[in-house]
Chains A and B, each alone.
Chain A
Amino acid sequence: MGQGSQTVAAQIVAEELGISIEKISLPPVVDTTFTPFDKTTTSSRLTFQMGNALILAVKDIRAQLKKLAAKKWKVAEDVVEIRSGTIVEMAEGVGRSIDIERIGESGILKEQPPIIGHGSFSTADVYVEPNLETRQSSRPTTFWIYGAQAAEVEVDPETGTVEVLKVAAAHDCGKVLNIETCRQQIEGAIVMGLGHALREEMIFDRGRTMNANLIDYKVPTSMDFSSEKTTTFVEAVHREGPYGAKGVGETALAPTAAAIGSAVSNAVGAQFKSIPIKPDQILAMIEKGKIVHDV
């Protein structure tokens, strides 16, 4: 749904097969009528789980390709290897070879059953249930994603309005498989976080949501935050992730409101303990502390 999971899937398959990404096609529709089952796309784990499943599926495909080439060349399977997208015969002198991108021309698929690769991956077996008494576990979750964000804000002491000048984000997503889509996740999350910190509030009255519309529940618009945003990737490679990748989506959002809240608290000289932080609350806090700020 736009987070780049299909792009990453294509990248991984292309990389594992050693072929160009343009040669990979994805189903136009993902439909549980015919796609394999996944628990959920949650915990920012799609790249990790699906990526590892894809690597296994392509491993299966490579094994089938080697078998077919060996059959065609009438050699033992153990003298056939796949290197950089080419199936090669390891022989003295010049061995035969087939480029996977041109496999249709090679004849090895002719009248053979179609090549279908299977791979599946789950982390159920790596999870260690926390001890009931100590609550400790050596592996309570598949992986942790780390991040830190900092913000620079300007508070107008007359109006209580906050301008967010800059947000800097540093995230450890493991190995970044696609810098562009990863950065997009973080930048989008920053603006959502600014909304949480300074704008968004669900107002209830006796169990009813009073502002269930997009005028009164204030999602940031293009006018709200033209702050400078910088993103730094700290790539701590995870030994079990596909190429060392972990995930990014949810943790990109986690620090933002806290960073903004801390910055506003720092500017005003008093600690805010809830979000959103609205102008009237800022003015009240300034009034309470009778703090005079230099411009």
Chain B
Amino acid sequence: MENREIFLKVNGEIYRMSVPDNRTLLQAIRDDLGLTGTKEGCGVGECGACTVLVDGHPVNSCLALAVEMDGRDITTVEGLAKDGVLHPLQQAFMEEGAVQCGFCTPGMLMSAQGLLNKNPFPTEDEIRKAIEGNLCRCTGYDPIVRAVQKSSGKR
């Protein structure tokens, strides 16, 4: 398979890349750009660990092809903190004990940010619905829900 030239905009930076057509967005983010915050949990779109935002919407990056994302605006977990200052969501996750092993966390943060982009003051049900596709085995979800509630309306 030949490589195709694409431009990926990730966290505000534009990267010129040369990738085969079957390169997933997840592989491009992790292996080509070295942004390893996004995790591969299952590789088949069932766990949500690979969630990133594409034009503000949560997407399983393991199911998206890099070449499909040419020209789109992608946000990964590395794009949340600004100038070393944690995003309110990240701060809230820490304060509420919403992180244990941390593997689901980047995906959770992106799904939560995707929700808050559209709905800055979500109800508990809306939060649970928004992270329904992000599996967590450690926390039992309550602290994550509380963290999203805590940071709603901020930034």
Contact = CB atoms under 8 A, between A and B. Distances in A.
B132 A184 contact: no
Contacts of A214: 42, 46-47, 135
A270 B148 CA distance: 41
A222 B42 contact: no
A31 interface: no
Contact of A222 (B99, B101, B134, B137): B134
A1 interface: yes
A60 B136 CA distance: 41
B25 interface: no
A124 interface: no
A41 to B, nearest CB: 13
B97 A221 contact: no
Interface in A201-226: 213-215, 219-223, 225-226
Interface in A222-241: 222-223, 225-226, 229
A89 interface: no
Contacts of A221: 132-133, 135, 141
A271 interface: no
A145 interface: no
Contacts of A220: 141
Contacts of A226: 124, 128, 142
Nearest to B134: A222
B100 A2 contact: yes
Contacts of B135: 214, 219, 221
B52 interface: no
A213 B136 CA distance: 15
Contacts of B128: 222-223, 226
B139 interface: yes
Contacts of B124: 226
A27 to B, nearest CB: 17
A219 B137 contact: yes
Nearest to B144: A222
Nearest to A183: B97
| Main DSSP-derived SS at the B contact region | loop
A2 B133 CA distance: 21
Nearest to A214: B46
A223 B97 contact: no
Range class of the A interface residue count: 20 to 34
B46 A187 contact: no
Contact of B102 (A2, A189, A190): A2
B41 to A, nearest CB: 8
Contact of A180 (B97, B127, B133): B97
A215 B48 CA distance: 12
B138 interface: yes
A192 B129 CA distance: 19
A215 B140 CA distance: 18
Contact of A191 (B47, B102, B140): B140
A191 B128 CA distance: 14
Given A2-B102, A213-B42, A223-B128, A188 B138 contact: yes
A192 B133 CA distance: 17
- For the complex of A and B, the 10 pairs showing the least CB-CB separation, nearest first, are A2-B101, A191-B140, A2-B100, A214-B46, A222-B141, A222-B128, A187-B140, A188-B140, A222-B131, A188-B138
Interface of B: 42, 44, 46-47, 97, 99-102, 124, 127-129, 131-145
23 contacts: A2-B100, A2-B102, A2-B138, A181-B97, A183-B97, A184-B100, A184-B138, A184-B139, A184-B143, A187-B143, A188-B139, A191-B140, A191-B141, A192-B140, A213-B46, A214-B42, A214-B135, A215-B46, A221-B132, A222-B127, A223-B129, A225-B141, A226-B128
Given A184-B139, A222-B128, 4 more contacts: A180-B97, A188-B100, A188-B138, A221-B141
